[in-house]
Amino acid sequence: MSFLSPWYLLGLLGIGIPLAIHLIRRQQAERVILPTVRFLKRAPKKLVYFQRLQNVLLLALRIVIIGLLALAFARPIFTGAFSTLVEAVPQSMVILLDTSMSMQYSDRLAQGKRAVFSELESLRQGDEAAIVTFADSPEKVHQLTTDLTALRTFVGNTPGPGYRSTNFLSALHLADQILQSAHYQEKTIVLVSDYQRSAAPALDSAWKLSPNIRLKTIKVGDAKTENLSITEVSTRELSTQGQETHRIVGRIKNFGSAARAKVQVVLTIDGVEAATRLVDLGERSEVVVEFPVVLNQFGVHRCTMRVADDRFEADNTYYFTIRVEPPMRVLCISGRSGASQLDKAYWFRSALAQHVTVPFQVDVIDPRELVPEALPSYAVIALMQVESLAEEQINGLRSYVNGGGGLLLALGDRAEAASFNRDYADLTPAMLLRKHILSESATVSISQAQSYHSIIRALQDSGPVDFSAARFHGYWSVEPVAGSEVVLRFENGAAILVAGNAGNGRVLFFASSLDPEWNNFPRQVMYLPLLHEAMRYLAGSQMHKSVYQVGEFVPFPVAPGGAARIVAPQGEATLLRHTPTGPTFYQSADQPGFYEVRSGKYSSSFAVNAAARESDLTTIGVDDIEARMTYSEIQKEASSTEQISPLKVQLEKSQQSWWWILLGVLGLGIVEIFLANRTYR
């Protein structure tokens, strides 16, 4: 035992005060000569002895009270803490525990936890530590503390590894920041991981830990591993008579150091086993398997490809979906331009005839042939070069769009601004202002695309988006209505494609013509894909990306006032609402499997898989990580006094015995008062 404030032990000299008072005030017996003792009562000897004992106890209590008061103010330190204060160099430590998918292999996480417990046991009283669990980014954090019991509890309660990949750099960044606020200059980061090669920082990364921080590496897991994984699946759709035939191609890779023979690969469609293959894989090799399948039922089919008899179950199954679309019925209401009697729907109809994945069935009629009762049988209505419609026809079109139909407006030179703005005020996403007819030498081109809109995003999935080759010499200047979105703009800032909603339906306004009357756009490469994506957007059946990686944000275009409900594989539901600045992102794709999407009448699914690089269990040398992340010499700047000072504070906080001593003094004081009142003077 030692003391933080030993000068208060001088108070022990006060023990002599009650002793002196006791000796001074001790009563001396007087000799009294009595003529007779006949009338005196004989006092028992026990009473005399008891009174003497009470006096001795009262003296002892007063001495103990004064001694304990001096001891309490001297702040006693027990259990060897003083030797820690004098001899040890205090340290601050951050322990990083890898909880990525690769830590599911064998008992790697259990080994990692044991390594963390061992590091905590090596800490001395007064040392401070923090713990961070991480995968591709930091997950759970316990801030710096000297309470080692709390840290052990935190590690014990750490959940099992998830399905995210590994990234050392983000975890090391956080640990470095935590240690900037540490009390001591002796700073250490302990990195507990299986050290996958894919997790190492890029060779061109110049970032290092702060110069005064040491990095200690602890590697868990065996060097020899065995793992098979399906790294990629692609589907190719072929059109045949009356049915959709798909060829499914999977890539299976052996990440282990031993060859595998007759590995079974199983394909399931909608929960039913559809086909199997047996493949042979050499050491660290890969093979490609093909499954020709026929799907006759329209809709989204949930498919899996799985390798059997592999010890690492986390990456044995690859999830994907196949969407089989029925022919999309499109009604084109086409008038005649004032300059020509040619069929203005020819280019539009020809572009939709060149389908790749979704067949279109296009019907072209004259405005006079439009029957409102026939509209609900079509997925999209296109209004091209139409000067005006009858009131009954406009009401039918309004009911169709409000009920969830899609409408494309491409008016060309037949429109009249005042009548259009009056008749279509509750349908159009843009109001007509003025018609512009330019010379052939003064044309404009499309230079701005709203990248977050689902039409443009779908085009970007297929390759670069460039509309600059299309030249326009005729267009309408428009004013977008409130709540609409400008998808494409000319180089002069004028809107060319505007999207909006009317009731439950979608409307697109194209401010030029869809034939060569006002532009050369139909002869450009982007004409066909833009029309295809526009039709899918209006019909609510766009071919969005359907397979994502764990941790990837999934975008959803939610209509104003609407919502989308996402149900994860384990049943957790998330409600997404409209955001005015762009698509709403689902950020909880944390486990492989199928996610169900429900938004109004729309229902679909998307699949999530673990990153293929996480299946590669090949490790990197820990010396390489230490050399790339730390400086060769650790700077030591603080004096021993500067380091000991905060440790004193920490030790004082951990030594609370003086409070108990004062509590004991209070109790003894109460006993002393009681005993003093009963003692005969």
Q: What is the full DSSP assignment across 642-660?
A: HHHHHHHHHHHHH--HHHH
What pLDDT, on a 0 to 100 scale, did the predictor assign at position 595?
96
For the cut 80, the answer to whether the pLDDT of residue 570 exceeds it is yes
Assign 297 a pLDDT band (cuts: 50, 70, 90): confident
For the cut 80, the answer to whether the pLDDT of residue 480 exceeds it is yes
3-state secondary structure 97-147: EECCHHHHCCCHHHHHHHHHHHHHHHCCCCCEEEEEEECCCEEEEEEEECC
Region 471-493: what's the mean pLDDT? 94
Assign 242 a pLDDT band (cuts: 50, 70, 90): very low
Assign 636 a pLDDT band (cuts: 50, 70, 90): very low
Assign 656 a pLDDT band (cuts: 50, 70, 90): low
Question: Strand ranges (DSSP E) for 146-271?
Answer: 187-193, 213-219, 228-240, 243-254, 260-269
* pLDDT tens figures, 41-72: 666 666 666 667 777 787 888 888 888 888 77
What pLDDT, on a 0 to 100 scale, did the predictor assign at position 83?
47
* pLDDT tens figures, 352-406: 887 655 678 899 999 989 998 889 889 999 999 888 899 999 999 998 898 888 9
Hey, what are 572's tokens?
Answer: 């957790």
642 or 275: whose pLDDT is higher?
275
Hey, what are 491's tokens?
Answer: 């180089």
Least confident of 20-24, 181-185, 229-233, 479-483: 20-24
N- to C-terminal Cα distance for the chain?
40
CA distance 466 to 457: 13
What pLDDT, on a 0 to 100 scale, did the predictor assign at position 542?
52
Q: How deeply is 297 buried, as exposed, middle or buried, from its count of CB atoms within 10 A (0-12, 13-18, 19+)?
A: exposed
507 or 649: whose pLDDT is higher?
507
How much of the chain is in helix, strand and coil states, percent to nearest 5?
30, 30, 35
Q: What is the mean pLDDT of the chain?
A: 85
What pLDDT, on a 0 to 100 scale, did the predictor assign at position 278?
95
Name residues whose C-beta falls within 8 Å of residue 567's C-beta, 6 or more positions apart in sequence.
Answer: 573, 595, 596, 598
* pLDDT tens figures, 261-275: 999 999 999 999 999
- The answer to whether 499 and 493 are in contact (CB under 8 A) is no
Region 285-297: what's the mean pLDDT? 91
For the cut 50, the answer to whether the pLDDT of residue 221 exceeds it is yes
Least confident of 25-29, 51-55, 487-491: 25-29
For the cut 70, the answer to whether the pLDDT of residue 450 exceeds it is yes
For the cut 90, the answer to whether the pLDDT of residue 668 exceeds it is no
Alpha carbon 383 to chain centroid, angstroms = 44
Residue 514: closest CA among 501, 526, 500 = 526
Least confident of 486-495, 539-548, 605-614: 539-548
CA distances from 19 to 50, 56, 64 (A): 20, 10, 11
Would you call 316 helix, strand, or coil by DSSP?
coil
Assign 536 a pLDDT band (cuts: 50, 70, 90): confident
248 or 632: whose pLDDT is higher?
248
CA distance 619 to 639: 40
For the cut 90, the answer to whether the pLDDT of residue 157 exceeds it is yes
Name residues whose C-beta falls within 8 Å of residue 342's C-beta, 6 or more positions apart in sequence.
Answer: 336, 515
pTM listed for this prediction? 0.65
Q: What angle do CA 158, 218, 176 make, to 5 degrees?
A: 75
Assign 341 a pLDDT band (cuts: 50, 70, 90): very low
Element (H, E) at 391: helix 391-402
For the cut 70, the answer to whether the pLDDT of residue 91 exceeds it is yes
